[in-house]
A and B are shown apart, each in its own frame.
Chain A
Amino acid sequence: MAMIQAARPKRKRTFMEWARSRDGQKVFVMLAFMIVPLLLLFVFTYLPFAEMFGFSFYNMKYVGARKFVGLKNYMKVFQRDDCFGALKLSLYYMVGSVVQLVLALYLATVLSFKVKGGGIFKGFMFFPYLINGIAIGFIFKFFYTRGFVLDTVLQWCGFNLENLPYWLKDQSINNISLVGTSVWRYFGQNMVLFIGAIMSVDSELYEAAMLDGANKLQQFKYIILPSIKTIITLNVIMSITGSLSAFEPPYVITSGANGTGTYFVVMHEIAHTQQKVGLASAMAVVLLMIIFVVTILQKLFFKYVFKSAEDEDKNAAAKREKKLARLAARKAGK
């Protein structure tokens, strides 16, 4: 814009003239507003990241001398069992996040129509998200303790304490218990995001669909789902990224012991207990790369899913038209 306008008069403006002109002032104001957030972003995000990236090439502790080791730390990340073994636990959290999203989408759809006490339900279900993650950890530590809350409730339901598993001790289910806490915490937030998106769907579309004889399921499939696909994609990406970097539940509830140490917990242990700062930094960079790859894959996946759905619709419509045309032709023939 500025370039074009500046080019119009034949005489070239000096810098000072340009600076005093409306265009120049516009640029200055823009820069002035941008500089503060950009500076904060740079100082507190990109600069520390660059530092950490640098650390990943050194063999170092927090204090004391550093030794440059090149890519050795990265090789170790791929060689060690505990680093990538910990990523397997992320599968639990990914499955959990799918459950969480489906549950959130279902409840959001129900609650976005008129329901008695809908506001209260929304409030209750969103509430866990407002609690601090550490506090949630402590709540669930007692919740899962033998003979405490969960066991008591299940005993009311007729279960025998003897038949109940040890929720955190039994290694076959303790990760599921931990995933449960994070589903409990985050599904309310997902639900609220979904409700917001569903609210923005034009209500005339429902009316039109009802006139056409569409039932609720069809309304959901053909009206709601396509209208909120952006927010669904966003939520899925956030949940999967969150599953890869799960930290609070295992760290607070089991301190990563007993086979619950996720990638982040292992990284924390290596960085702070073993003081291998270089190796931990390399782990962080590798995780970032994994998250990049997974995000791109998801982007492609959703592009494919939603595109094919549209294509199918178009084909179907074309087929219907052809069919109608054939019928009409037959009728006309008769």
Chain B
Amino acid sequence: MKLKKVLALALATAMTLSLVACGGSAETAETPATETKEEAKEEAPAAEEKTEEAEAEAPEGVPTYSQITIGEDYTDLTATIKYIHCRTDREEDGTFAKLVEEFNKVYPNITVETEGITDYAEDSLLRLSTGDWGDIMFIPAIDKAELPTYFQPYDTLENMKNEINFADAWQFDGISYGVPCLANAQGIVYNKAVFEAAGITELPKTPDEFIAALQAIKDNTDAIPLYTNYAAGWTMGAWDAYLGSVSNGDNTYMNQKFVHTAEPFKDNGDGTGAYALYKILYDAVANGLIEDDYTTTDWEGCKGMINNGEIGCMVLGSWAFVQMRDAGEHGEDIGYMPFPMTVNGTQYALAGGDYNYGINVNSSDENKTAAMVFVKWMTEESGWCYDEGGYTVDKDGQNPDMYKAFETATLLSDEPALAGEETLLNDMNAESELSFNAGGNAKVQRIVEAAATGSETFDDIMADWTAAWNAAQEDLGVEVNN
């Protein structure tokens, strides 16, 4: 009996409390909304004109990215938006809290909640499928045809190209659904002091020069010339980034021509193409220019090792630069150089966006507007990209010092896939199980194993890949050009 009474009482309190809560939230929601309306009416006519424009072009009531002027529009908008991302390190050290604080100086009524997710690649897909994840997220690996189902369009691709670099990473049918949070130029992280001690005065520009440089490091210093990070797996998949523009100077190759190529892994004979790219790794391993025991490499440990001059270089995206620089006392020794391949006398570097901000298409119009404002503020005003050592996303932004070595190289960003073929590369990757730029670590690890144990020749591996690629082309009915 006593228990029943207690239960009844608890239920009653819970109900009254929830009633009170309902009333409270309704009240608070009402007042600022009316205020904003009044203020908006009172405001200068310039702003009104702009909103009219917005209404004309965006019938849903959400402005497009290019229509927003940061610091002028929507400064009195009230909304609470949630932003989920993968940068748990920056969540923990308070960087995001500071950014939101800065943001609230301009937009005091937009509350931004941030949440860092550790296993982002998988968890984000799960959250996306449940639909209830917030308002802004880093777009996970989905097929481009699914973009309109989940994400709010920013603007047409043409308009976005005037606003930001790398606008085409997440575009579908000429509409842009993603804004990169950072951009990277792909190259090689190296230790300047080690290169100097080995007597390398000029950065290598071709595969042969690179192997010679590694040999010089081995002969003249105690450092490991090239640290593969084999055990971590994904660090091996990083080699795929140089497959397109870098290895052949053609920025339509990766997303358009690659799937239609009959023999993508044939030897061009002039140090270009995919063959020459992976041959660098094979030769380095075969000549003993990598760490002694590659199966027990330690990703966290390698950061301090390169910082202290125990490692010559590592093949990683530019995002890794900051981590290597901050991992010890010799941060000034860490440098970043373009990948050592030269096509017809020109060295190319691939630049592209990291994770992209996507806005939930199912959020309310107010939240979508607030999210759009936040994304644009992050891109243009926050300085986030510069602080993280990223290549600028904003068209008028500034580049950090680490990209100095890239001044002589030509920067390309991969063209998107042709209309109707947006998912073809994904399908080919899955069907052939080579997964280029999509977690295909095992195939690159295989090169290391083959070179170290002599179990397979490099040509065997390339022939095998070509066979898998051709079989996939046949299965999917892809047109093949020679």
A146 within 8 A of B: yes
Q: Tell me what chain B mostly uses at the interface: helix, strand, loop, or mixed.
A: helix
Residue of B nearest to A177 (CB): B295
Q: Given A169-B295, A171-B453, do A274 and B435 touch, yes or no (CB 8 Å)? A: yes
Residue of A nearest to B296 (CB): A145
Q: Are B430 and A274 in contact (CB under 8 A)?
A: yes
B contact residues around A273 at 8 Å (CB): 435, 438-442
A144 within 8 A of B: yes
Q: Are B143 and A64 in contact (CB under 8 A)?
A: yes
Contact with B along A255-293 (1 / 0, CB 8 A): 111110100000001101111100000000000000000
B contact residues around A243 at 8 Å (CB): none
Question: Nearest-CB distance from B303 to chain A (Å)?
Answer: 17
State which residues 441-477 of B face A: CB under 8 Å. Answer: 441-442, 445, 449, 452-453
B433 within 8 A of A: yes
A contact residues around B430 at 8 Å (CB): 61, 274-276
Q: Are B445 and A146 in contact (CB under 8 A)?
A: no
B130 within 8 A of A: no
Q: Are B453 and A254 in contact (CB under 8 A)?
A: no
Number of A-B pairs whose CB atoms are under 8 Å?
Answer: 69
A174 within 8 A of B: yes
B contact residues around A256 at 8 Å (CB): 442
Question: Nearest-CB distance from A149 to chain B (Å)?
Answer: 11
Q: Are B292 and A146 in contact (CB under 8 A)?
A: yes
Q: How far does the alpha carbon of A168 sit from the alpha carbon of B293 in the complex, in Å?
A: 8
Question: Nearest-CB distance from B32 to chain A (Å)?
Answer: 38
A contact residues around B441 at 8 Å (CB): 255, 257, 273
Q: Are B295 and A168 in contact (CB under 8 A)?
A: yes
A contact residues around B445 at 8 Å (CB): 257-258
A141 within 8 A of B: yes
A309 within 8 A of B: no
Q: Are A146 and B293 in contact (CB under 8 A)?
A: yes
B242 within 8 A of A: no
Residue of B nearest to A260 (CB): B295
Contact with A along B276-306 (1 / 0, CB 8 A): 0000000000000000111110100000000
Q: How far does the alpha carbon of A168 sit from the alpha carbon of B294 in the complex, in Å?
A: 9
Question: Nearest-CB distance from B222 to chain A (Å)?
Answer: 15
The total of chain B residues at the interface (CB under 8 A) is 29
State which residues 223-241 of B face A: CB under 8 Å. Answer: 230-231, 233
Contact with B along A145-178 (1 / 0, CB 8 A): 1101000000000000000001011010010000
B contact residues around A276 at 8 Å (CB): 430, 433
Question: Nearest-CB distance from B324 to chain A (Å)?
Answer: 21
A127 within 8 A of B: no
A29 within 8 A of B: no
Q: How far does the alpha carbon of A69 sit from the alpha carbon of B174 in the complex, in Å?
A: 34
A contact residues around B438 at 8 Å (CB): 273
Q: How far does the alpha carbon of A145 sit from the alpha carbon of B233 in the complex, in Å?
A: 17
Question: Nearest-CB distance from A255 to chain B (Å)?
Answer: 5
Residue of B nearest to A80 (CB): B433
Question: Nearest-CB distance from B157 to chain A (Å)?
Answer: 23
A63 within 8 A of B: yes
A contact residues around B125 at 8 Å (CB): 62-63
State which residues 41-85 of A face B: CB under 8 Å. Answer: 61-64
Q: How far does the alpha carbon of A88 sit from the alpha carbon of B435 in the complex, in Å?
A: 26
Q: Are A254 and B295 in contact (CB under 8 A)?
A: yes
Q: How far does the alpha carbon of A275 sit from the alpha carbon of B142 in the complex, in Å?
A: 12
Question: Nearest-CB distance from A179 to chain B (Å)?
Answer: 16
Q: How far does the alpha carbon of A184 sit from the alpha carbon of B296 in the complex, in Å?
A: 20
Contact with A along B248-288 (1 / 0, CB 8 A): 00000000000000000000000000000000000000000
Q: How far does the alpha carbon of A261 sit from the alpha carbon of B279 in the complex, in Å?
A: 25
Q: Are A145 and B293 in contact (CB under 8 A)?
A: yes
Q: How far does the alpha carbon of A65 sit from the alpha carbon of B298 in the complex, in Å?
A: 39
Q: Given A166-B293, A169-B293, do A255 and B233 touch, yes or no (CB 8 Å)? A: yes
Q: Are A169 and B439 in contact (CB under 8 A)?
A: no
Residue of A nearest to B434 (CB): A274
Q: How far does the alpha carbon of A180 sit from the alpha carbon of B76 in the complex, in Å?
A: 65
B contact residues around A144 at 8 Å (CB): 296
Q: How far does the alpha carbon of A68 sit from the alpha carbon of B142 in the complex, in Å?
A: 22
A contact residues around B230 at 8 Å (CB): 257
B129 within 8 A of A: yes
- Other 8 A-B pairs with CB < 8 A, given A146-B296, A257-B231: A64-B146, A141-B231, A169-B452, A254-B231, A255-B231, A257-B230, A273-B439, A274-B435
Across the A-B interface, the 10 shortest Cβ-Cβ residue pairs? A145-B296, A168-B295, A146-B293, A169-B295, A257-B445, A273-B439, A274-B433, A255-B233, A274-B430, A166-B293
> Chain A interface (Cβ within 8 Å of chain B)?
61-64, 141-142, 144-146, 148, 166, 168-169, 171, 174, 254-259, 261, 269-270, 272-276
Instruction: Jot down 21 A-B pairs with beta carbons below 8 A, ordered by A.
Output: A64-B146, A141-B231, A142-B296, A145-B298, A166-B293, A169-B294, A169-B295, A254-B231, A255-B233, A257-B230, A257-B233, A257-B295, A258-B295, A258-B449, A259-B449, A261-B442, A269-B442, A270-B433, A273-B441, A274-B429, A276-B430
